[in-house]
């Protein structure tokens, strides 16, 4: 198994901290951010293999974040995770380069399987 | 196995039922019966009343015409005969007046002179039988004629008193001493202060009879004279000879010519001409039996009323059929309208749920995700810690939380499903292939539960234009429901056929528990579920919404204990809405 790093970006802090903790419990290199700007800052300091990104966030929205990430780090895989879905949003997300579009809540085992696929394992 | 005819749209039925429940006057049978009755009564009245009025008007017109037709000839004939008789009598009376004024008492007393006068009279006028001169005492002073009547005294006779008072007298017909029917004309001449003498002539009444007989041309008519007592004064074809009583009822108070329609003593209709002959005791009667004319009238009357009856029946028939057709059409239109309203309401409901659902789902999903992660973390901790007190109990509790979260997420995902599939992407789809794909998803369950699933395609059906993803969702839902309805080892039959031109249909029949009528009515309504605990009540209403959007129809038919058939009917070509 190839080690990979994950950045969870969501404006719900409770969600971010808990999910990060669970991933860390499974020996995954995971960190969290609650704002798009914060995530972009963190990306400047460290390369993440996978970014789990909420679409609807205050400040810089998920779709804007994904475009900037893809521009700066084309190898980074982005998975959109959101409570809201519409055909248009899914389409837009995929066009912006998202690997997958997931609906909250999500099972952690499913998530890890997806991470493994994303990291090329 | 349900054919296309067995597939009935439950929405339509439900709409009709709801309509009855909501507004009893809208679709109730009495409303259409009342409509039918109103149409029948008003149309019949408008059509029949003028017809009946026209028929009765023409009936009376014809009747009047026929009446005149039978009365006028009798009137003319009676009048001319009356004048002829009046002329006959007045001619002879004038002749006698002329003689009595012209000749002196002495000349008239001379029987030779009198014989010469009788000869002249007979020659000039005819009908004179004898001639006599009577003095104021009633003694016949002179007489010429075929009978030996000289020296008779008439002072006790009625006609003598009459002539003494009135100067002129025309008698009724009588037999007298002469033994043949005759009548008398007597004229008076004054002489001095109180004296007078009378010239009296006997006229053979055969002369009258001959004049009357000119009026009687056909065997159905009769003409004769009577006196004021109704005694025949001339022979009658119908009522016997002179002096017999005439049974014909006479018009009362008739002092001039009159023609009336009467009935004879046998009750047969007659036209009666009645005319008193002036300055005589005679009344002329002319009787005509209507005969042929009356026959014509009867047949015309029959035709007239036959026409009325037949045309009335025809009108009523057309009115009945028309009213029935019309009220049925109105009823159909009302049902259709109620159906459309129902569908619109349904579509609006679905759209509203879609909007609400999407909003709610989003707001719920975020906290749900937090619960999911928190509980998940708890589970992680507990399962990693072998020595955790009551570890199993905790794991069970956490699992229950996670299950509930999952249930919630199923609901929110479904709600979002309403907002989804707004766009329809069409591509050619073979329903058989699509159904096989759908069954592929469920293969494991079918094998596991030993379900017999069959697909039957009756004919070579073309591909339809529709949305693949959405149809998959529809049939996945329908087939899933069928799976849920049957026990292990149950049967599910899928038929693909052409229900009518331009449509293809898929019916999914199971031999499961069946659905009661009450439930069938609500089965497509959002949040209606019979699956206690784990159903969202959204599956079939989403399915309904998709099928509608694809231009199709979904219907259910079921019998409790026997099974259920869901039929999805789809248009071959999708029309843009």
Does residue B421 sit at the A interface (CB-CB below 8 Å)? yes
Joined together, the tokens standing for residue B131 give 């001639």
Please identify every stretch of chain B with a pLDDT value under 50, giving residue numbers as ranges.
Answer: 1-25, 577
How far apart are the CA of A13 and the nearest CA of chain B, in angstroms? 9
Going from the C-alpha of A94 to that of each of A21, A97, A100, B244, B293, the distances in angstroms are: 28, 5, 7, 133, 106
Q: At what angle do helices B468-485 and B539-549 cross, to 10 degrees?
A: 140
Q: CB A103 to CB B409 under 8 A?
A: yes
Peptide bond just before A105 cis, omega within 30 deg: yes
Distance CA B343, CA B173 (A): 105
- Verdict on whether the full-model pTM lies above 0.90: no
State the pLDDT at residue B26: 53
Ordered by where they begin, the domains of chain A are 25-88+95-106 (3.40.50.2300)
Residue found under tokens 């009765």: B56
pLDDT number for residue A121: 62
Whether residues A83 and B421 touch (CB distance < 8 A) is answered with no
Between CA B39 and CA A75 the distance in angstroms is 81
User: Which three-class secondary structure string do you get for B159-201?
Assistant: HHHHHHHHCEEECCCECCCCCCCEEEEEEEEEECCCEEEEEEE
Interface contacts (A, B; CB < 8 Å): 71
Whether the predicted pLDDT of A85 surpasses 70: no
Q: Backbone dihedral region of B489: left (phi > 0), alpha (psi from -120 to 50 degrees) or beta?
A: left
Element of type H or E holding B231: none
Provide the sign of the torsion angle of the four alpha carbons B402, B404, B406, B408, taken in this order: negative
Tens digits of per-residue pLDDT, A7-62? 999 989 999 999 999 999 999 999 999 999 999 999 999 999 999 998 888 888 88
Chain B residues within 8 A of A28 when measuring between CB atoms: none
pLDDT of residue B470: 83
pLDDT of residue B214: 79
Q: Would you state the pLDDT for residue B42? A: 94
Please list, in sequence order, all residues whose beta carbon lies within 8 angstroms of the beta carbon of residue B259, skipping any fewer than 6 positions away.
B71, B74, B75, B78, B271, B272, B273, B274
Cβ-in-10-Å burial (0-12, 13-18, 19+) of B217 comes to exposed
Residues in A closer than 8 angstroms to B371, CB to CB, are 105
CA distance A62 to chain B (A): 15
Q: Give the residue range(s) of CATH 3.30.565.10 domains in chain B.
A: 361-571
DSSP B236: B
Q: State pLDDT tens for residues B385-422.
A: 888 889 999 999 999 999 999 888 887 877 776 665 55
pLDDT at residue A1, rounded to an integer: 59
* Residue B25: predicted pLDDT: 45
CATH topology of domain B216-290: Beta-Lactamase (3.30.450)
Confidence (pLDDT) at B400: 93
Instruction: Report the pLDDT value the prediction gives residue B262, as an integer from 0 to 100.
Output: 81
Task: Give me the pLDDT at residue B420, please.
Answer: 57
Q: Do residues B276 and B296 lie in contact, with contact meaning Cβ atoms separated by under 8 Å?
A: no
Classified by CATH at the fold level, domain B361-571 comes out as Heat Shock Protein 90 (3.30.565)
């309504």: which residue's tokens? B525
Q: Within chain B, which residue ranges are assigned CATH 3.30.450.20?
A: 103-200, 216-290
Residue of A nearest to B364 (CA): A83
Check residue B3 and give its pLDDT. Answer: 39
Q: What is the CA radius of gyration of chain A?
A: 13
- Spell out which residues of chain A touch residue B422, defining contact as CB-CB under 8 Å: 87
Confidence (pLDDT) at B419: 60
Which of A19, A25, A83 lies at the smallest CB-CB distance from B366? A83
Residues of chain B with pLDDT > 90: what percent? 26
At B20 the pLDDT is 39
Q: What pLDDT sits at residue B506? A: 93
The CATH label, of 3.30.365.10, 3.40.50.620, 1.10.730.10, 3.30.450.20, for the domain at B103-200 is 3.30.450.20
Structure letter (DSSP) for residue A120: T
């Amino acid at each position: 198994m190839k080690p990979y790093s994950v950045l969870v970006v969501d404006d719900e802090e409770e969600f971010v901290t808990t999910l990060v903790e669970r991933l860390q419990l499974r020996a995954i290199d995971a960190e969290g951010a609650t704002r798009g700007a914060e995530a972009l800052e963190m990306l400047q300091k460290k390369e993440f293999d996978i970014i789990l990104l909420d679409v609807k966030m205050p400040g810089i929205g998920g779709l804007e974040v994904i475009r900037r990430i893809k521009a700066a780090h084309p190898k980074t895989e982005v998975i959109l995770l959101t409570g809201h879905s519409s055909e248009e949003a899914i389409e837009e997300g995929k066009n912006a380069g998202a690997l997958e579009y997931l609906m909250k809540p999500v099972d952690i085992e499913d998530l890890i399987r997806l991470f493994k696929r994303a990291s090329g394992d | 196995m349900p054919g296309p005819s067995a597939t009935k749209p439950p929405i339509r039925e439900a709409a009709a039922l709801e309509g009855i429940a909501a507004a009893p006057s809208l679709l109730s049978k009495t409303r259409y019966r009342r409509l039918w009755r109103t149409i029948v009564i008003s149309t019949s009245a408008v059509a029949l009343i003028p017809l009946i009025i026209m028929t009765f008007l023409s009936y009376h017109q014809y009747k009047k015409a026929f009446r005149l037709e039978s009365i006028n000839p009798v009137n003319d004939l009676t009048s001319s005969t009356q004048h002829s008789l009046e002329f006959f009598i007045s001619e002879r009376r004038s002749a006698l007046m002329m003689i009595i004024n012209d000749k002196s008492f002495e000349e008239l007393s001379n029987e030779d002179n009198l014989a010469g006068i009788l000869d002249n009279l007979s020659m000039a006028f005819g009908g004179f039988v004898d001639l006599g001169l009577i003095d104021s005492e009633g003694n016949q002073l002179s007489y010429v004629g075929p009978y030996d009547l000289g020296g008779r005294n008439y002072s006790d006779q009625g006609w003598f008193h009459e002539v003494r008072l009135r100067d002129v007298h025309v008698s009724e017909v009588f037999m007298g001493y002469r033994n043949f029917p005759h009548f008398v004309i007597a004229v008076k001449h004054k002489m001095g202060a109180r004296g007078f003498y009378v010239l009296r002539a006997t006229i053979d009444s055969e002369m009258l009879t001959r004049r009357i007989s000119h009026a009687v041309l056909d065997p159905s008519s009769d003409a004769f004279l009577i006196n004021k007592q109704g005694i025949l004064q001339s022979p009658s074809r119908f009522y016997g000879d002179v002096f017999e009583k005439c049974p014909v009822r006479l018009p009362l108070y008739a002092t001039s010519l009159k023609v009336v329609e009467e009935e004879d003593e046998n009750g047969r209709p007659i036209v009666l001409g009645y005319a008193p002959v002036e300055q005589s005791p005679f009344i002329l009667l002319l009787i005509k039996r209507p005969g042929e004319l009356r026959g014509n009238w009867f047949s015309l009357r029959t035709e007239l009323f036959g026409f009325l009856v037949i045309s009335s029946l025809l009108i009523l028939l057309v009115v009945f059929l028309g009213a029935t057709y019309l009220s049925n059409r109105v009823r159909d239109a009302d049902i259709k309208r109620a159906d459309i309203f129902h569908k619109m309401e349904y579509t609006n409901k679905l759209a509203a749920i879609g909007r609400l659902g999407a909003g709610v789902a989003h707001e719920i999903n975020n906290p749900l995700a937090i619960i999911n992660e928190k509980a998940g973390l708890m589970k992680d901790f507990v399962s990693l810690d072998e020595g955790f007190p009551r570890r199993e109990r905790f794991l069970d509790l956490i699992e229950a939380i996670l299950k509930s979260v999952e249930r919630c997420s199923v609901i929110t995902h479904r709600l979002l499903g309403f907002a989804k599939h707004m766009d329809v992407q069409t591509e050619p789809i073979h329903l058989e292939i699509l159904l096989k794909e759908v069954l592929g998803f469920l293969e494991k369950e079918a094998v596991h539960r030993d379900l017999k699933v069959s697909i039957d395609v009756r004919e070579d059906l073309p591909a339809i234009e529709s949305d693949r993803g959405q149809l998959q969702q529809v049939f996945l839902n329908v087939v899933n429901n069928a799976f849920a309805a049957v026990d292990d080892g149950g049967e599910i039959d899928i038929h693909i056929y052409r229900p009518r031109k331009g449509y293809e249909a898929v019916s999914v029949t199971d031999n499961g528990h069946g659905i009661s009528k009450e439930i069938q009515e609500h089965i497509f309504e959002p949040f209606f579920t019979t699956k206690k605990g784990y159903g969202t009540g959204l599956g079939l209403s989403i399915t309904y919404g998709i099928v509608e959007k694809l231009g199709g129809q979904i219907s259910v038919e079921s019998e409790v204990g026997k099974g259920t058939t869901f039929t999805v009917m789809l248009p071959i070509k999708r029309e843009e809405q």
